[in-house]
Amino acid sequence: MATAVLKLHCEDTKGIVYHVAKFIFEHGGNILESQQHQEPLNNRFFMRVHFDLADLNCTRQQLRSDWEPVSQKFNMETDLTFSDDRKRIAIMVSKYDHCLYDLFLRHQYGELNADIALVVSNHPDLESVSFNFKVPYFYIPVTKANKQEAEQKAVELFRQHQVDLIALARYMQILTPTLLEAYPNRIINVHHGFLPAFVGAKPYHQAYEKGVKMIGATSHYATEELDMGPIIEQETIRVTHAHDPKDMVRLGRDIEKKVFAHAVKQHLEDRIIVYKNRTIIFD
């Protein structure tokens, strides 16, 4: 069944829900789910509508065109997507393989409504993994001297493969504006900590030395400000003095996989609206 998702946000005022529902009804759509959120601080209204296209009485192009006057009436920022226009994912990875395997398996099980177009890595180590899942693998070495050139090669590959979303499956490089500006709010990273967290190398060892009682992971959109982009998903797990660094690494891997995959899935299902460096996420 083909469906569509309409996301929007604008200044809160009377009549928005009425005009959205009226528009969908008049074009033959059937609303399956509708969620709204209003923020008094900024007087901002957010909405996500999921509707059936089975009885649509116009073309999709006409639907987009007819929506424009409604959008302009309320000065909305909107996004209209269709479920059968499958998004294309590029995975970037270094040497840690747990998030890569997890995305591959979830895709294989049909949990992600998208196609994994390619894998790009700054190391050759995981090429066999990508080969086993029949996904093209591109090795682009990265050094301090060639980082911008390497990212430009990656951007060119992503454009050739018509990539919509980049998933940083423990890609251990700080991104430059070359990549970030090409895909704003379309690069999802996973951080091995509940941000803000321990900075630098061996975070779990630092956590162990500090005697922490809780560890976690955070998925977020990548921005130029390192590990400070809009947060999508976070999770924690309790630990005790009996957990050594190896235990924490093992537990951390499980949390990283979970929050990363959940963030990717929410993006693919068009459940996220980014506003002022934070996210509104509809269930």
pTM: 0.90
pLDDT by 10-residue block (mean), the chain, 283 residues: 95 96 97 94 94 96 97 96 96 96 97 96 97 98 93 97 97 94 96 64 70 82 86 90 88 93 97 92 94
- 90 neighbors 158 (Cβ within 8 angstroms): yes
Q: What was the pLDDT predicted at 192? A: 78
Q: What was the pLDDT predicted at 214? A: 78
- 29 neighbors 107 (Cβ within 8 angstroms): no
What is the residue-wise DSSP string for 191-255? ESSSSS---SS-HHHHHHHHT-SEEEEEEEE--SSTT-SPEEEEEEEE--TT--HHHHHHHHHHH
Structural domains in the chain plus CATH codes:
3-82 (3.30.70.260), 87-281 (3.40.50.170)
- 180 neighbors 259 (Cβ within 8 angstroms): no
Gap between the Cα atoms of 52 and 41, Å rounded: 33
Which residues participate in catalysis according to the annotation? 227
Q: What was the pLDDT predicted at 195? A: 53
Gap between the Cα atoms of 1 and 200, Å rounded: 47
- Residue 44 is classified by DSSP as E
- 203 neighbors 194 (Cβ within 8 angstroms): no
